[in-house]
Amino acid sequence: MNDYSTIHRPVLLEACVDLVAPAATRPGSVIVDCTLGLAGHATAFLKAAPNATLIGIDRDSEALGLATERMEQEGLADRFVPVHAAFDAFEEVMAQRGISGVDAVFMDLGLSSLQIDETERGFSYSHDAPLDMRMDAQQTLTAQQILAQYDERELTHIFKVYGEERYARNIARAIVQRRDEQAFVSSGQLTQIVDDVVPQANRPSGNPAKRVFQALRIEVNGELDKLQRTLPQIANRLNVHGRLVVESYHSLEDKTVKSFMNQGLVADVPAGLPVIPEDNMPFFTALTRGAIKADEEEIARNSRSASVRLRAVELNRQLPQRWRKRFEQDSKADTNRHRTRRG
């Protein structure tokens, strides 16, 4: 029997429960955890919402198996439905189960403890491991393939945009030059080349390879593309007074979430209009004032919470039809630059 308390520390757990559980009090309520992981948040949601069923989505089959085991240990398995899928299959997952509306949707966009702590998966720069970084082992594209196949321009782009790496071009150029001599197959090789390129005087705190690893992980798994497609799918399935609660750990993720939520937090009219038509009134109500951050005590207890930004909104009325149509279009947009490569 696994002791999950020793391997998984949910970030901002109490705050997340306080935001999710009040939306799922009625009998038959449905909570969706789009990033189930080891079910640290999910088990807490079900304990706080005894009338709810939780659908747990994860693209990592190993995590799903462990989460299911945990639910059985906690006596919650009868209200838990595990689903192996990426979260941008949200609409399909709901349709397959005949669920027309949900009461709360939660997303924790950080890496799970399982992915970080299992060194053979290559997510961490702290251990030498194969350059894989796939959250779903069934997909084809790996970090190793990216480093072998992408040209200097493409590598520069992902390091600069997804990693916000100051020396993106220098690192990309060094990778392209050296890969002809030796293929990049391990995280240690990548860490070494970043260490060689980034000047000692201009390094950020921590390991200088952190941002490059982050950028590769985002590219391998199409994380930002999937997030942009998923948020509108969620909005279209929320019941009135349903809630969307999201934890982000990267500025681009948080910017995407904030931008999406802001669409429904302001009146959709030209500035200065004296009377706002009912159909143009905001349809979201903010449940957080800006983003909730971890305090010093939380960070000391769990260092992975240092960069978290927690935002939440509630659907305050029936979603206007024109927004529903717009969100349907947004959810189908192909934002993936390397769709054919990722597979």
Annotated binding residues for S-adenosyl-L-methionine = 39-41, 58, 87, 108, 115
List beta partners, residue 29. Answer: 52
Which residues sit in the known binding site? 39-41, 58, 87, 108, 115
Q: Which amino acid is at 138?
A: Q
SS (H, E, C) 142-159: CHHHHHHHCCHHHHHHHH
- Asked whether the beta carbons of 55 and 81 are under 8 A apart, the reply is yes
Residue 1 in tokens: 């029997």
- Compute CA distances 54 → 24, 29, 69, 83, 268, whole Å: 10, 9, 15, 11, 33
- Compute CA distances 246 → 109, 241, 278, 342, whole Å: 8, 16, 28, 25
Strands, E, within 192-321: which ranges?
238-248, 284-286, 309-315
Residue 275 φ/ψ, nearest 5 degrees: -125, 130
